[in-house]
Structure 1
Amino acid sequence: MGLSQTQKDLIAGSVGGMTQVIVGQPFDIVKVRVQTAAPGTFSSPLDCATKLLKNEGPLGFYKGTLTPLLGIGACVSIQFGALEWAKRFFAGRNGGKELSLSELYASGAIAGAANTIVAGPVEHIRIRLQTQPSTPRLYNGPLDCARKLYAQNGIAGVFKGQGATIVRDGLGYGFYFLAYEALVQRHIRKNGGSREDIAPLWSLSYGALAGYALWASIYPIDVVKSKLQTDSLDPAKRVYASMADCFRKTWRAQGWRGFTGGLEPTLIRSPFANGATFVAFELAMRVMGNGKHEHPMLPDPTA
């Protein structure tokens, strides 16, 4: 008995997600540390990376990797599973025609919102691990971190920053998948053939551009999310009362620069991590589908 289309979507998404973590993790840890450090801690992302290498060695760039490797694999699996479901849903409503830009955006937004059930706690745990001091260590790994977060503040401690994560991913992944799918549609219209005929280099390029569309739409929200997720779990010691309060205090303290911390490593990371994600997803789908898989954007001209 073969795999169903949904199973293929989820498996290929997991492959894409794990590839994203392996490629992007060194950039991500620098981004998070710059975002959450006190002003003046690092003179630049390069300074942050240099200090990280000096103090923690090369493996320091993969600190907290187990959580994102498993968790982000699951997140991206959910993303692509929800995306493909939404695209099939909209294609069924419009009679199989090419999906409009609004339908592509809605599909991406659904995918982004769906993945936050895993992305929220996974990213919270990852950020706690990435920003903890080397000595004394607060957490002995992802499970220990999750247990301590739960012990301190229940399920709300594990899902701290969840509202910001939903806003970020719903908005951002709408633009992310809209950009990628629209570029794929344009490629097929211009060159003919089917989705499976697109060379990996083009998938890499379109994924890189999609990554820039994602971060251009959400970066200030991502900064706020990181600040909320590194804030104290103790209400008496908490710096920020809410997303809005975090925006206000960050603006008052640093102005617009307060919302750009860690932007450079993010922009450098984006084409590699996101391009690799889509290439891995597309290739995995081709392997499982013997070169053909269902992507309801355009009628298959080879059918």
Structure 2
Amino acid sequence: MLEQVEKKKPQQFNILPKIINGGVAGIIGVSCVYPLDMVKTRLQNQTIGPNGERMYTSIADCFRKTIASEGYFGMYRGSAVNILLITPEKAIKLAANDYFRFQLASDEGVLPLSLAALAGGLAGLFQIVVTTPMELLKIQMQDSGRVAAADRAAGREVKKVTALGLTKTLLRERGIFGLYKGVGATGVRDITFSCMYFPLMAYINDQGPRKADGSGEAVFYWSLIAGLLSGMTSAFLVTPFDVIKTRLQADSEKKFKGVMDCVNRTFTEGGVTAFFKGGLCRVMVLAPLFGIAQMFYFLGVGEKILGIERKKSV
């Protein structure tokens, strides 16, 4: 059984520096990997024609065609809303996991694998409040370039899409719940991911060399490695949930009647492999995203800003 053991549990948990660390980590991480996330979305959401024709044949082909039709900055379509909302999203996710680990650990600092998974799952549950509207807007902004390219090729009018315009439309047509389209699929994906990711990351991180400052934290490059390996593993395993979530949230034409209809039609159209569409790209996005995020999270920017002494977390 994997467990994190400390001689003595810290007496208190400072949430504010954790929130600052999570926000900084999220902004830096998502800025680095956003173009790959754009490609992942478009690969997952493209449909297959009657003769097997596809708009994009590979990751490289999607990069090439997107840059050719939309320019380099087209790779950052929808990034503003993502970067704006990634601050509270990552702050909630990373800080909540640390908080629940602290609360669930024994007085001796022992946290069994089952409780570590529970802490991660609770963090994933809390984050979907921000994640769902963030990803809905991001995905529709990312996919709007693909739709525009298809309309342009067919000689149809190309409509300009903005995050503000999408938000207004969703609020006008469906109210506040319009921003939570796909919340069920998002919750399943994020809770499952967090249940796997955080215990694995903590275990790997605990095995590496420590800093010489007495904080008990791993050296920065080992936190990067722990985030990379854990993100890679967890991202691949939950790819089917991500495919369904992406297709539901990008479904502006209302082709799907719900989660199960989306699952059935995805399987009918592409078989089992359809549930892993964009899986490699997803791994390429989330492995470095969480590696970079964990590295900056553990650097302790928040503690330095607030003048708080860093102590090893449970």
Q: What does residue 218 of structure 1 align with?
A: 238
Q: Does 1:261 align with 2:277?
A: yes
Contact 1:168-1:222 at 8 Å conserved across structures: yes
For 2:305 and 2:98, how far apart are their aligned partners in 1? 15
Superposed, 1:219-238 pairs within 5 Å as: 219-232=239-252, 238=254
Structure 1 residues 194 and 245: alpha-carbon distance in aligned structure 2, compared to 1, 3 A threshold = farther
State the distance in 1 between where 2:136 and 2:206 align: 35
Residues 45 and 265, structure 1, Cα contact 8 Å, conserved in 2: yes
- Is 1:160 the counterpart of 2:160? The answer is no
Are 1:29 and 2:38 an aligned pair? yes
* Alignment equivalent of 2:137, drawn from 125, 144, 148: 125
Q: Is the 8 A contact 1:87 1:295 kept in 2?
A: no
Indicate if the aligned counterparts of 1:179 and 1:213 stay in contact, CA closer than 8 A: no
Shift of 1:214: 2.1
1:136 and 2:158 aligned? yes
Pairs within 5 Å for 1:147-186: 147-186=168-207
The CA distance in 1 between the partners of 2:303 and 2:232, in whole Å, is 26
Task: Name which of 13, 18, 24 aligns with 1:9.
Answer: 18
1:93-132 to 2 correspondences below 5 Å: 94-132=106-144
Question: Which 5+ residue runs of structure 2 have no aligned equivalent?
Answer: 1-12, 49-53, 149-156
Distance in 2, Cα, partners of 1:114 & 1:13:
14
Aligned amino acid, residue 310 of structure 2: H
Within a 5 Å distance, the mapping from 1:67-78 to structure 2 comes to 67-78=81-92
1:57 aligned onto 2:76: no
Gaps of 5+ in 1: 298-303
TM-score (norm 1): 0.88
Q: What is the rounded CA distance, in whole Å, between the counterparts of 1:102 and 1:115 in structure 2?
A: 20
- Deviations along 1:19-69, one digit per CA (max 9) or x if unpaired, are 121011010000000101112221111111110010011101111111110
Of 242, 254, 261, the residue aligned with 1:245 is 261
Task: Write the distance in 2 (CA, Å) between the matches of 1:231 and 1:296.
Answer: 42
Contact 2:193 2:235 in 1 (8 A): yes
CA distance in 2: counterparts of 1:81 and 1:292, whole angstroms = 17
User: What does residue 60 of structure 2 align with?
Assistant: 46
Deviation at 1:262, TM superposition (A): 1.4
Change (3 A) 1:144 1:185: same
SS at match of 1:41: coil
Native 8 Å contact 2:235 2:287 kept in 1? no
Q: How many residues align?
A: 286
* CA distances 1:118-146 after superposition (whole Å, capped 9, x unpaired): 00001000111111144623422x22211
| Residue from 14, 20, 29 that aligns with 2:29 | 20
State the partner residue of 2:151. none
Aligned position for 1:301:
none
Residue 281 of structure 1 is matched in structure 2 by 297
Rounded to whole Å, the distance in 2 between the matches of 1:224 and 1:81 is 27
CA contact (8 A) 1:84 1:295 kept: no
How far apart are the structure 1 equivalents of 2:74 and 2:23? 24
Aligned residues with identical type, % of pairs? 26
| Conservation of the 8 A alpha-carbon contact between 2:236 and 2:279 | no
Which stretch shifts more, 99-108 or 237-246? 237-246
Distance 1:67 1:183, change over 3 A: same
CA distance in 1, matches of 2:140, 2:228: 28
